[in-house]
Amino acid sequence: MTTVTSPRVLAHPARDEIRLEDVLHALADPMRLRVVRELAAVDADLSCSDVELPVTKSTTTHHFRVLRENGVIRQTYRGTAKMNGLRRDDLDALFPGLLDRVLEAAQSQERRLAGR
């Protein structure tokens, strides 16, 4: 885990510390998967407030923390905003194709459920 040097720097696991079971755990929650899907769709950093989730602010904060601590996203401060970016390069290097397959499966499931 990276060392936190100030309150404005958040700890993230180094690439070699990211574990498959932790990534899968983080992606297993529908709200966290929604965050990842939005980040993947824009392929850019988004602030926490840019991602609207139908949960309380404290629960949203929890979901972002789980994604960060498990190596799925990187969070950085830009002014007063906490920006979130998908760690696609790290995930693709460690688990080739995993993120793409999960995103495809989520989209397929969404289409299937919408057709009911």
What does the alpha-carbon distance between residue 71 and residue 81 come to, in Å, rounded to a whole number? 20
Place of tokens 């720097």: 9
Q: Give the DSSP letter of residue 51.
A: S
pLDDT tens track for 7-64: 688 999 999 999 999 999 999 999 999 999 999 999 899 999 999 999 999 999 999 9
- This prediction has a pTM of 0.90
pLDDT for position 115: 85
pLDDT at 6 over 80: no
pLDDT at 4 over 80: no
Place of tokens 């040097």: 5
φ, ψ of residue 43 in degrees (nearest 5): 50, 45
φ, ψ of residue 115 in degrees (nearest 5): -80, -5
Structure tokens at 9: 């720097």
